[in-house]
Amino acid sequence: MNTLPRLNHAALSSELFKKLADVSLTLARRGHVDAALLHLVDVRASQLNGCSFCLDMHSKQARLHGERELRLYHLAAWRESPLFNARERAALAWTEALTRLAPEGISDALYAEVREQFDEAALSDLTYQVMLINAWNRAGVAFRTLPGSLDKAYGLDKAGLA
């Protein structure tokens, strides 16, 4: 498989890229969902979507923000792992359901499970986070953005995972 980058979408659509980045920053600052959980959501969606750039970036961000390596290793099998609490499990289930929408949509059972863990504002923000990471993943996969190519610009080289 050819893994060479196709084009620089950030430069070619710079205004759109900036607006999407602004929405991402706004969500991160709102505080309805803690940053550690948002990193797990970003990593899990990126795993599902096969976006190596985003998987690389968000794993490094998670580590820089104190996430344990073992939890990152277990993320692909979070249902079987004892390392995630009920809130994290609900967020990961919501992430998977929104990332891979079933023909029947989102079940009432899943919605009820997630609502037990998140108030309305937090659930709305969590949903937007999943929407955003899926948008970023689609650009990363479509244009084959190179993993690690923006580490220095984003300070991710400090994660020591190169």
Residue 3: per-residue pLDDT: 75
The structural domains of the chain, with segments of one domain joined by +, span: 31-148
Percent of the chain topping pLDDT 70 = 94
Residue 155: per-residue pLDDT: 72
What tens digit of pLDDT does each residue of 30-61 get? 889 999 999 999 999 999 999 999 999 999 99
What tens digit of pLDDT does each residue of 133-162 get? 999 999 999 998 877 676 577 677 777 766
pTM of the model as a whole? 0.91
Residue 93: per-residue pLDDT: 98
| DSSP element (H, E) containing 42 | helix 35-49
CATH for the stretch 31-148: 1.20.1290.10
